[in-house]
Amino acid sequence: MNWGMKSNYKRIGEHIRLVDERNKGLQVKQLLGLSISKQFIPSVANIVGTDMENYKIIRKTQFACSTMQVRRDKKMPVALLQEVDEAIISQAYPIFEVKDEQQLLPEYLMMWFTRSEFDREACFHAVGGVRGSLEWEDFENLQLPIPHITKQREIVKEYNVIQNRIALNQQLIQKLEETAKSIYKQWFVEFEFPDENGRPYKSSGGEMVWNEELGKEIPKGWKIITITDTGIIKAGGDKPNIFSETKTNECPIPIYSNGITNDGLYGYTNKPNYSKNSITISARGTIGFCVLRREDFDAIVRLLVLTPNYPTSAIYLWQTIKQIEFDNSGSVQNQLTIPQIAVTNILFPEIEVLNKYDSIVSLIYQNIEILTKENQKLTELKDLLLSKLATIEN
């Protein structure tokens, strides 16, 4: 491997220095940890009986890193403190700062540390026993391109615009999800859905009837039915013969499994077995994790799929099934079966109420979908910007 051949590549060690300031007199209280995803997190360490004076102080625009287990984790945890003016961190972490911010911007250096190529290089140099630690000297010998400070500022500004947009979209998604949850609670837990005059049903004197199974009153015309009564439940099949790990013209149809990350996306195939507005429910591992699918798809083993009889009941059913705690005490491994889910009772509103609910909440989820797709594109753009750093010229 021949790292850093270009003329504007410089050793990291030329531009940084170690800092070791201890928390004498316990002046700093906020304790942070360092995550594998290169961020500071509130520390979960048990500090009972610990001498907090020995902890290191880290100040704004300083870095903390871990050189341990780099090879094992295939990442070097390193983060730039930007959120607070000062904090304390375990003495196990080296803390360093940029010597001259007119030569190298800390934010630009952090961008370099964020690249997957940096982690690969750090991993290549990590030696020493099972843990595969990176020697400090080897870390200092790693190189990066350092263009003129004006160029660095431009790059950081561009990167921050993307980062801020992603963060803003995340906040909007969270707000929309909270709104959808509160509408569900208002309509189907408190029974304050709008009546024919647009007033809250229960508190405006809407007729309620006693239900034995639930042990409470429910709106007149609503009933208790099993999940099987709401649609068709099937178990996911085997991996299809026509399969691609990425989306292609031949294989545009997503395949889902019971994974939670990336909503369980497993790969792609050429034709769907299930229609959009079906709900997938994980039947192994984290059982009951369910997702409303907004496109035609295929599902493989360890997933159950519910295709609702009424398309407008899909969001309601999805939200309701999410609340259920399925009993798996009888099985050796966490698993959910069709007979088990088939006999599960749920409250089912009148169809007019469902239609009204769907028309309102569909718009919320459409907005969430748009923002999620935008964030995927922005993340791709961010990765592209990071990969371009290696070829940057003055």
275 and 383 co-located in one domain: no
pLDDT of residue 276: 93
Average pLDDT along the chain: 91
Query: Going edge to edge, which strands form the sheet with 78-80?
Result: 16-19, 95-98, 63-65, 78-80
- At what angle are helices 106-114 and 149-188 packed, to 10 degrees? 70
pLDDT tens digits, 118-138: 999 998 888 765 567 888 999
Q: How much is the pLDDT for 3?
A: 44
pLDDT of residue 382: 95
Looking at the chain, the whole-number percentage of residues with pLDDT higher than 70 is 94
Which structural domain range is residue 162 located in? Answer: 150-204+351-394
Domain count, the chain: 3
Query: What CATH number does residue 189 fall under?
Result: 1.10.287
Whether residue 319 is found in the same domain as residue 251: yes
In a domain, 215, yes or no: no
Question: Same structural domain for residues 88 and 117?
Answer: yes
Q: Which DSSP state fits 340?
A: H
User: Using CA atoms, how far apart are residues 187 and 190, in angstroms rounded to an integer?
Assistant: 6
Those residues whose C-beta lies under 8 Å from the C-beta of residue 4, and which sit 6 or more positions away, are 143, 144, 145
224 within 8 A of 239, measured Cβ to Cβ: no
pLDDT in tens, 38-49: 999 988 766 666
What are the tens digits of pLDDT across the range 177-215? 999 999 999 999 999 999 999 999 999 999 999 999 889
Compute CA distances 7 → 31, 61, 137, whole Å.
41, 27, 22
Q: What is the pLDDT of residue 70?
A: 85
Rounded to whole angstroms, the Cα distance separating 342 from 324 reads 13
User: What are all long-range contacts of 42-51, with beta carbons under 8 Å and residues at least 24 apart?
Assistant: 43/89, 43/90, 45/90
Cα–Cα distance for residue pair 329/343, rounded to 1 Å: 16
Q: What is the pLDDT of residue 288?
A: 85
Give me 39's structure tokens: 């961020």
Question: For residue 156, is pLDDT > 70?
Answer: yes
> Looking at residues 304-323, what average pLDDT do you find?
94
Instruction: Indicate if 283 and 239 belong to the same structural domain.
Output: yes
Dump pLDDT digits (tens) for 1-27.
Answer: 344 446 679 999 999 999 999 988 888
Q: How many CB atoms lie within 10 A of CB 105?
A: 18
Query: pTM for the whole thing?
Result: 0.81
Distance CA 93, CA 78 (A): 9
